[in-house]
Amino acid sequence: MELERDIQPRQDLQKEYDELQRAHSLNQERFIAELQAEREKSRMIQRELEALKCSHHHISQKYDSDVVSLRQRAETLLGKIDMETKAHAATVENGWQVVNTLKAELEELKTQL
């Protein structure tokens, strides 16, 4: 009888141990699966990051190129505006000279009459 009392707690302990082993094994498998899923997510995010870096680099280069091009175009247009302004000023000056000359001729004609 004493042997039976000794065996029962051992069987209970063995049963509990086996259940803990199964639970541990299941937890370990779940953890490994989650870890693999997280690693895969990390790889995908890393690939996306690399693609974004490449895209950013391309856009940045295009922007820099466009800025240089637009600045050159602005300088060219400012130069043309300056030339047109000077040409217009010369034309206006010439027109005033003609007007003044004609006024002077008109005054001379008036004095002759």
Tens-digit pLDDT profile for residues 7-40: 777 888 889 999 999 999 999 999 999 999 999 9
Q: Which residue has the higher pLDDT, 70 or 12?
A: 70
Its pTM stands at 0.55
What whole-number distance in Å separates Cα of residue 50 and Cα of residue 35?
A: 22
